Amino acid sequence: MNATERAALLQGLEIYDEMNATVDERTLQILDRRRRTATVHRRGWLVRRMLLAADLIGLVAAMLLAEWVVTQHEGLGVVDMRTEILTFLLTLPLWVVVAKLYGLYDRDEERADHSTVDEFTGVFNMVTVSTWLFWALAYVTGAAHPDIPKLLIFWAAAVVFITLGRAGARTVARRNVSYLQNAVIVGAGDVGQLIARKILQHPEYGINLVGFVDAQPKERHEGLGHLALLGGTERLAAIVRLFDVERVIIAFSNASHEETLALLRSLKDLDIQIDIVPRLFETVGPNVGVHMIEGLPLVGIPPLRLSTSSALLKRTMDLLFAGLGLLILSPVLIAIAIAVKLDSQGPVFYRHERIGRRQRRIEVIKFRTMKLEACRGERYGGKAAEDRFRELMNDPARAREFGESYKLMDDPRTTRVGRFLRHTSLDELPQLLNVVKGDLSLVGPRAITEDELVRYGDRAADLLEVRPGVTGYWQINGRSRLSYDDRVRLDVSYITNWSPRLDFEILAKTMRVLLSRRGAA
């Protein structure tokens, strides 16, 4: 983009001279691409149509598969295929309506981190309900006579095809310029800059952060200096129009309550998504509910503990899935054990003492990733390992990194196999044995060392009321890239919002994070 084109994009705004040198070049390039495109639609328009196409293709493919399986096997009740398929095609609009009622087309524009994993339960329920409604409609009208085996084949295939199709549709949509949402944050204080840092860490959200709107901004933190300071809130409407902003995030600006309400009213005609960071956001998690008392909304925060029935259900899930995991992954575990043994001298496993539920000492089992003489602990490297650790901590950069995350991204003590295991997190697979034993849960707060306990402060007692987890809420929200305070906050949020569905979502997203290898140490 040349200087003339750059100036043209900013022409007409009274704060041109203030912003010309600070607006991020990527933002201007995105605006230029939109300006050159004849028809530019927004994220919601694009994703809704991609998801609709994926649903229709998945439904038709599932129907054809069910018909093909039935016709290939005798005794399953072969019927007139053409009549049945035609009846099904005529009901497709009803399937779309049911999907709409389940909210399966409306989340991507509103929720930046929405994924196919988040909506799997909705897809499952939609297909289940619609399948039996189709059977009932066909039975009552006599238009078709699908038997139970065929319906079951269709049902299972539709759940799989629609889920995979939606994941593919989102992947394709994210490559389109229309998927990007220009966004501004109202409030450049600590909370606003925290939001900015998290957005920048997740390019997959498709949010292009233009800058901050705040008349009295704080000094920007490290890594945020390239974001523009766009002025005060009185210029927000003009900024939204100029930069084609689709998302405004209200993050504790200096404006009063009345001024913030007036600001929201001024944006009501601009067709944008408005996100508001709630006060006491540290305690608000994904399952927090809103209820009303005479029209006044109240945010209900669950107690910071699991009930007896919830704890029993969670333990049952742990035993079931950990047992299956050990059985299925046994060839992988044996192969890794052999690789560790051949790569360096010493035991295959490394046992590290952590603080478990109710402050009970536990030994967490991992594949050994360090040279034996560098492993801390009396049964391993002993004094030599402690001396080596103190030597590393003499480096201020490494000391700061370890102090923040209790990990070193580039640890010279690791073996060749160990570096691979850490990068892929395969070194943590033996913790399934800890789950079966009862020391850990599959999902839970991070298992901490005694040295870390002091950093939890008055939150330690609450977090240690439940079993630590092999994976957890913070592992799917940044892993090693998160600050220590963020990890503690997410662990607290997990406990207050626990549900079986949340555990399933965390396990599914853990697999996605591991495959992407983002934030691994």
Report pLDDT digits (tens) over 485-511: 777 778 877 877 788 888 888 888 888
Confidence of residue 347 (pLDDT cuts 50, 70, 90): very high
User: 26 lies in a domain?
Assistant: no
φ/ψ of residue 511, rounded to 5 = -60, -40
The sign of the torsion formed by the CA atoms of 455, 191, 497, 47 equals: negative
Given this model, what pLDDT does residue 101 score?
Answer: 87
Average pLDDT rounded to a whole number, residues 324-328: 94
Residue 19 lies in a domain: no
Q: Sign of torsion, CA 55 57 58 63?
A: positive
> Whose structure tokens read 């600006």?
253
Which domain does 118 fall in, by range? 43-173
Residue 264 burial (C-beta neighbours within 10 Å; 0-12, 13-18, 19+): middle
Is residue 23 assigned to a domain? no
pLDDT confidence tier of residue 381, bands split at 50, 70 and 90: confident
Q: What is the tally of structural domains in the chain?
A: 3
Q: What is the pLDDT of residues 43-54, one digit of tens each?
A: 888 999 999 999
User: Is 503 part of any domain?
Assistant: yes
Same domain, 164 and 218: no
Once rounded to an integer, what is the mean pLDDT over residues 150-157? Answer: 91
Same domain, 321 and 451: yes
Please identify, among 118, 142, 173, the residue that sits at the C-terminal boundary of a domain. Answer: 173
317 and 222 in a common domain: no
Q: What's the pLDDT at 79?
A: 46
Least confident of 274-278, 305-309, 465-469: 305-309
d(CA 79, CA 138): 13
Question: 455-474 as b/e, with b when 16 or more CB fall inside 10 Å?
Answer: ebeebbebbbebbbbbbbbb
> pLDDT band for position 26 (50/70/90)?
low
With a cut of 50, say whether residue 372 has pLDDT above it.
yes
Q: How far apart are CA 82 and CA 69, in angstroms?
A: 15
Q: Which two tokens stand for residue 321?
A: 């899935």
More confident residue, 109 or 369: 369
In angstroms, rounded to a whole number, what is the distance separating the alpha carbons of residues 503 and 508? 9
Contact 230/19 with Cβ under 8 angstroms?
Answer: yes
What pLDDT was estimated at residue 38? 47
**In this structure, are 211 and 352 located in the same domain?**
no
Average pLDDT of the residues in 306-318:
85
Residues 237 and 189 in one domain: yes
CA atoms within 13 A on the CB side of 10: 22
More confident residue, 148 or 22: 148
Angle at 288 between CA 284 and CA 289, to 5 degrees: 135
Q: Note whether 327 and 433 are same-domain residues.
A: yes
Three-state DSSP class for 350?
strand
503 in the same domain as 446: yes
Give the domain CATH number at 256.
3.40.50.720
pLDDT above 90 for 363: yes
- What pTM does this model have? 0.66
Range of weakest confidence among 220-234, 278-292, 353-367, 439-453: 278-292
The residue ranking higher by pLDDT, 35 or 118, is: 118
pLDDT higher at 6 or 250: 250
Q: Tell me the pLDDT band of 288, cut-offs 50, 70 and 90.
A: low
Classify residue 389: in a domain, yes or no: no
pLDDT of 30 reads 62
- Poorest-pLDDT segment among 23-27, 113-117, 470-474: 23-27
Q: What pLDDT was estimated at residue 284?
A: 66
DSSP state of 229: E
Percent of the chain with pLDDT over 70: 82
Residue 318 pLDDT > 90: yes
Between strands 228-229 and 207-213, the pairing is parallel
15 pLDDT band (50/70/90 cuts)?
A: very low
Helix (H) or strand (E) holding 158: helix 148-173
Residues 89 and 202 in one domain: no
Confidence of residue 227 (pLDDT cuts 50, 70, 90): confident
Per-residue pLDDT, 71: 74
Do residue 90 and residue 169 come from a single domain? yes
Indicate if the pLDDT at residue 16 is higher than 50.
no
**Res 10: pLDDT:** 52
Residue 304 corresponds to which amino acid? L
Q: Is there a domain that residue 402 lies in? A: no
Residue 409 domain-assigned (yes or no) = no
Percent pLDDT > 90 in the chain is 24
The set of residues, in sequence order, having a beta carbon less than 8 Å from that of 231 and lying 6+ positions away, is: 15, 18, 19, 213, 215, 239
Whether residue 301 has pLDDT greater than 70:
no
Q: With contact defined as beta carbons under 8 Å apart, do 432 and 422 qualify? A: no
At which of 124, 154, 173 does a domain end?
173
The DSSP H or E segment spanning 245 is: strand 245-250
Strands 289-293 and 228-229: unpaired
Over residues 198-210, the pLDDT tens digits come to 888 888 888 889 8
pLDDT at position 289, please? 67
457 and 497 in a single domain? The answer is yes
Lowest mean pLDDT among 263-277, 295-309, 407-421: 295-309
Please tell me the least confidently modeled range out of 68-82, 90-104, 165-179, 283-297. 68-82
Specify whether 131 is located in the same domain as 190: no
Question: CB neighbours (10 Å) of residue 170?
Answer: 20
Domain stops at, among 128, 149, 173 = 173
Q: Which residues pair with 186 in a beta bridge?
A: 213, 250
What per-residue string of b and e applies to 118-135 under the rule 16 or more CB within 10 Å gives b?
bbbeebeebbeebbeebb
User: Per the domain annotation, does 28 fall within a domain?
Assistant: no
* Range of lowest pLDDT (48-57, 285-294, 370-379): 285-294
- From first CA to last CA, the distance across the chain in angstroms is 38
What the block records as the tokens of 341 is: 């043994």
Instruction: Quote the mean pLDDT of the chain.
Output: 81
Cβ-contact 424, 514 below 8 angstroms = yes
Is residue 431 predicted with pLDDT exceeding 90? Answer: yes
Same-domain check for residues 462 and 506: yes
Q: If pLDDT is split at 50, 70 and 90, which confidence band does 124 have?
A: very high
Number of residues in the chain: 521
Mean pLDDT value of segment 103-123: 85
Backbone phi and psi for residue 10, each to the nearest 5 degrees, phi listed first? -100, -5
pLDDT at 161 > cutoff 50: yes
